[in-house]
Amino acid sequence: MPLRIVDELKDATASTLRQATLVSAIVLALAIAAGFLCAAAFVLVLQSYGAVAACLALAGIFLLIAIIAAVTYTVRKRQMEVRARQRRTKAAHLLADPLVLTTGLQIVRAVGLKRLIPLIAIGGVALGFLATRSAAQDEAPAE
């Protein structure tokens, strides 16, 4: 059982590393292509309108790109905050539910407090792993 988990972890890590390498190669190629496109646009505007107009035109294009990126970042950040707030309120409602509380008390009575403490500790560790895993998936960019 533990060996299977280690093998799955190795496979997942190798796959993630391959994907990251491919994405970095794509990003590098796109950056170089964007550089050449900017150079071509600069030369074209430079020949037609002069150096000042060419510089202002490219500055305006990059300013527009920066504004779009800032707006996108702000919207995404607000969406993540709303999702986190919804999860917190959902968890608070779940703990305030009388049915959950009575079920928990019945489990404590049936199992006993001394036997239940190690089970709760193991469950807390598992819940922590699941919480960090789901938080990482929520923050990951969509592919």
Would you list the domain boundaries of the chain? 7-83, 97-143
Return the pLDDT at 88.
77
Return the pLDDT at 135.
58
Which stretches of the chain score pLDDT less than 70?
1-2, 91-95, 134-143
Per the CB < 8 A criterion, the answer to whether 80 and 137 are in contact is no
Helical (H) or strand (E) element with 107: helix 98-111
CA distance 54 to 71: 26
Task: At 135, list the tokens.
Answer: 């938080």
Return the pLDDT at 51.
92
42 burial (CB, 10 Å; 0-12 / 13-18 / 19+) is middle
Return the pLDDT at 99.
78
